[in-house]
Structure 1
Amino acid sequence: MVIGRKIKRKHPDIPLIFLTGFDLPEYRLQAKKMNADGFLNKSMKPDDLRDALQTIIKTGSSPIESEITILTKQEKRVLVLLSKGYTQNYIASELSVSRRTINNHVQAIHEKMQVNTSIEAISEGIKLGIISLLDN
């Protein structure tokens, strides 16, 4: 994604298209934020890929469909820190908020992700691309 931002900054007229096997809502959102011209799944049929690329060439871009991000930026930070094994007390200290605030964030994460435990939330966070296993 960092390379994509640099390309778009230096050459805004060059179409930026993501072709990925990781078709995650969080990745789509990031591509959309950097004004990418397309976000395509590499498992799509060759004819569909050709058609999508032709559409982007003709129109200049293809709308990037993305699910509404269900977690706030702060909730994502809390979830990532939980995935690293940190306690709520440590996270509160790290983010300069009260333990009660962190507990409220955790409860909101559980409700929004429709899970009962932080382990389930972390698992969903991985599936959505919010948590990267490489960063832990």
Structure 2
Amino acid sequence: MANYAIGDVQGCFLELKGLLDLINFDPSHDKLWFVGDLINRGPDSLRTIEFIYEIKDSCHIVLGNHDMHFLAIADGLRKPFKKDTLNELLESKKLTQYKKWLKGQSLLYYEDIQCQKGNKTYLMSHAGIPPHWSWQENFRSC
């Protein structure tokens, strides 16, 4: 079993698939840690979400600013920017399902992982974490 951390996919589905092929990712054994910004900017936000949703049981996800931006647009709280690439996703028949799933993701994730040199605790966030905050304070803030 392997753990891989990937940040800022930003709707670049083909590049994500190419990377996963390169590392021989196997969703039945391996885990992906997505470090936010799954969508927007790249050309395939819908295909990216469809794929990650399909393998969601093999993923740990924290939301990034582009993911939060999408949710705000989808809920009518914000207008899209001209350079957003979210139209296909916003027009998807599964928009409600994807919104609910994304809203269930965290802004912060941590896990103890068995490594070659023993157990290690890993903390994942898309944004910076103030060095004077403990991980417990971060969770309370999220």
Q: By the TM > 0.5 criterion, same fold?
A: no
Higher share of residues assigned strand = 2
Q: Tell me which structure has the larger Cα radius of gyration.
A: 1
Higher share of residues assigned helix = 1
Shorter chain as denominator, the TM-score bin is under 0.3
